[in-house]
Chains A and B, each alone.
Chain A
Amino acid sequence: MNNEQKDHAALADIFNKDEARVDWHDETLWWIRAKRDKSVHQIPEWEALRETASQIKNNVLSNLHTYLQQFETNAQANGITVHWASDAKEHNEIVHSLLKMHDVTRMVKSKSMLTEELHLNEYLADHGVDVIDSDLGERIVQLAKEPPSHIVLPCIHKKKEEIGALFHQYMGIAEGISDPQFLTETARQHLRETFLTRKAALTGVNFAVAETGEFVVCTNEGNADMGAHLADVHIASMGIEKIIPKREHLGVFLRLLTRSATGQPITTYSSHFSKPRNGEKMHIIIVDNGRTVQLGREEFRNSLKCIRCGACMNTCPVYRRSGGHSYHNAISGPIGAILAPNLDMEKYADLPFASTLCGSCSNVCPVKIDIHDQLYKWRQVIVQKGYAPTAKKLSMQAMAKTLASPTAYHLAGKAGRWVMKIAPFALNNKLNPWYKNRDMPKPPDESFGEWYKKNR
């Protein structure tokens, strides 16, 4: 995808060309944020719940070494095979080898942002394995050959007419249909056939309980269950940070997750997988892929507390108006912008700058990640390590010099006011990003310093 050469601002520019769509995108996501608020306000102990969840996750991160082994031992005792993968390559090879072992060339997959991060689908396609994503939104973006633009709402950027056109092309429905009910029914019929014919199913993991060795998968559609309970082989992929200590902690997280995500009181299905059913093989792949490095970054390790609800995206004024694809990373939005630089600081150097630092993300986060503080801290790390774009570096240096010298500062102020008065076109043109969608202010006649000298 050539999107990867463009930065957030350039990709947001593309999204912003269609102003009506931006408005629609913005309003839709804000509506979901409002639903979250309504739902949250019905829980008087909401803030205590967030604080508790945050503390449980702090404990998890500080004791992960023990919990991971405890989980492994208990899962194995339950009859689940546990695999460990350091990176994407190893994870994808394990999945492929399991499929080969069971002689499977077609697999059904439910929502797993981890496998998006690891580019599993592309890997398997290159190795002759056909993967069908079964979450409706993921199926839609898969047909459109796009990545998900949101971790909970994968095709939130798509209009129903576009989805109708895709279904016309790939599922043979008549042209011009855009009724969501009809389109969903069409996908239901198609995917039912998929569920019934696939011998292997891959799911993500929402929570893995160290105490019991079970893992929990949450969906509204029931697609994870349809896939797993009909397949001979169930593979579940999880990042190391999905561990929680005890079963009773699920009570805390399941109360927070969906209320934060969509405003629902709980997902339709919160399925607890503990043992394979008779004759079935169950595998768990525990993945690092940079997470242990992030764990060692004191200022950023909190990002590993994330439970993937997407609330920070729905509330983010930048995300809502730039769209998920502008983040050119599997996980978009504010949380994606603090996770991605850990994986590749150069490639994702632009993301921590795609924020107003308004703090709304941190306010809605159910596990109290200090997202906007981390965005600010990443900017400093990125500039210090020399990954900031040259134009930004030069202007920051010029700014630093000017602000450090009173003479230069007064001179620059005077020059600026003079230019704005005499030659406004020097600033009021499209080369100046501050001029986009707004007028430049009228320059004052004098600076405060000059006024004060006259009037004190």
Chain B
Amino acid sequence: MSSREKILASVKLNQPQTIDLPDISFLKGDSTNAIEKFITVLTTIGGKVVRIKNLDEIKSLLPQQFNLESRIVTTIPELSSIAELNTGEYIDPHTLEDIELTIIRAHFAVAENGAVWITEDLMGQRVLPFICQHLAVIVEAAALVPTMHEAYQKIGEGRYGFGSFIAGPSKTADIEQSLVLGAHGPRSMTIFLLDGNLSKYI
């Protein structure tokens, strides 16, 4: 008997009588002041939030914070004048090692924990949001959900090869519980919260 069969047989023999799944539809968040909550939470966990009305604002804000001579990669065609564009064409992920800033967009954001949901198709390359020194993510202010329950309702049965909730910069407190930003991934995370429609830029 293979290990698979052995394990499954043993599970079947030992599992208790069926207990029903609970109803989880009662778990809902409150969407009042969602934007304020999102900003407060993300700021608390080390992220930055900048409210913008259009993508041109990003173009004028960036030079204040980043050296435009360094490598900046984006998946958003509208920003190709200030960054290298990658919309998913294959490149060896190792060649992305020297990226200073990645600018991508997210499907939506979650008010209760400051996370944004990004799937592979928005990342260009899977490693792109992780390998850069700094990460900027554009998300529509209207696409804000109160809790993770609404988040998974929104994801629904959507198919993706890879997706991640990202909440703030990479961090660790492994050394005597002192919080340090920039463990292995981005040292900072900026969310551009867009008042308006993102679809016209892509």
Contact = CB atoms under 8 A, between A and B. Distances in A.
B180 A248 contact: no
B18 interface: yes
Nearest to B187: A188
A254 B148 contact: yes
A33 to B, nearest CB: 12
B19 A225 contact: no
Contact of A184 (B4, B155, B162, B180): B180
A397 interface: no
Contacts of B13: 292, 296
Interface in B148-187: 148-149, 151-153, 155, 157, 159-178, 180, 182-186
B112 interface: yes
Contact of B113 (A86, A229, A247, A265): A265
Interface stretch (A272-280, A406-414, A425-433): A272-280
B184 to A, nearest CB: 5
B161 A277 contact: yes
B115 A184 contact: no
B90 A278 contact: yes
A394 to B, nearest CB: 36
A31 B125 CA distance: 39
Nearest to A194: B184
Contacts of B27: 45, 48-49, 52, 251-252
A32 B177 contact: yes
A270 B171 contact: no
A357 to B, nearest CB: 26
Interface string B113-140: 1110000100001110011000000000
A266 B115 CA distance: 8
B130 A90 contact: no
Nearest to A193: B97
A105 B22 CA distance: 46
A364 interface: no
A248 B152 contact: yes
Nearest to A254: B148
B127 A191 contact: no
Contact of A84 (B7, B15, B127, B168): B7
A43 B171 CA distance: 24
Contact of B162 (A183, A230, A274, A292): A274
Contact of A248 (B24, B120, B130): B24
B31 to A, nearest CB: 15
Nearest to B177: A28
Interface string A249-266: 111101100000010111
B112 to A, nearest CB: 6
A296 B14 contact: yes
> Interface SS of chain A: helix, strand, loop or mixed?
helix
Contact of A220 (B16, B26, B172): B172
Q: Which of B6, B13, B172 has the most CB of A within 10 A?
A: B172
A264 B7 CA distance: 36
Given A183-B175, A278-B90, A255 B182 contact: no
A55 B161 contact: no
A62 B19 contact: yes
A65 B15 contact: yes
B183 A240 contact: no
Interface stretch (A131-139, A168-176, A372-380): A131-139
Contact of B180 (A154, A180, A245, A295): A180
Given A220-B172, A250-B152, A270-B115, A62 B11 contact: no
Contacts of A230: 93-94, 127, 131
Contacts of B184: 134, 188, 191-192, 195, 221-223, 226
B200 interface: no
Interface in A204-247: 220-223, 225-226, 229-230, 240, 245, 247
Which size class do A's interface residues fall under?
Answer: 35 or more
B114 A136 contact: no
B202 interface: no
A76 interface: no
Interface in A147-163: 153-156, 158-160, 163
A57 B148 CA distance: 18
A124 interface: no
B167 A59 contact: no
B11 A188 contact: no
A165 to B, nearest CB: 13
A269 B15 contact: no
A298 B168 CA distance: 42
Nearest to B159: A274
A222 to B, nearest CB: 3
Give the one of B20, B130, B159 with max A CB within 10 A. Answer: B130
A276 B162 CA distance: 8
B32 interface: no
21 contacts: A45-B27, A58-B19, A61-B15, A62-B18, A85-B3, A86-B7, A155-B175, A184-B182, A221-B171, A249-B24, A251-B152, A265-B41, A265-B113, A265-B114, A268-B167, A269-B130, A269-B185, A270-B115, A270-B164, A278-B90, A292-B14
Interface of B: 2-4, 6-8, 10-22, 24, 26-27, 41, 45, 90, 93-94, 97, 110, 112-115, 120, 125-127, 130-131, 147-149, 151-153, 155, 157, 159-178, 180, 182-186
A-B complex: 8 closest residue pairs judged by Cβ atoms: A222-B185, A296-B14, A265-B113, A137-B174, A221-B183, A229-B127, A292-B10, A275-B161
Given A153-B177, A184-B182, A266-B113, 19 more contacts: A59-B19, A63-B15, A65-B8, A180-B180, A184-B174, A184-B180, A220-B170, A221-B183, A223-B183, A225-B185, A229-B125, A247-B152, A251-B152, A252-B24, A262-B173, A264-B45, A269-B164, A277-B120, A293-B14
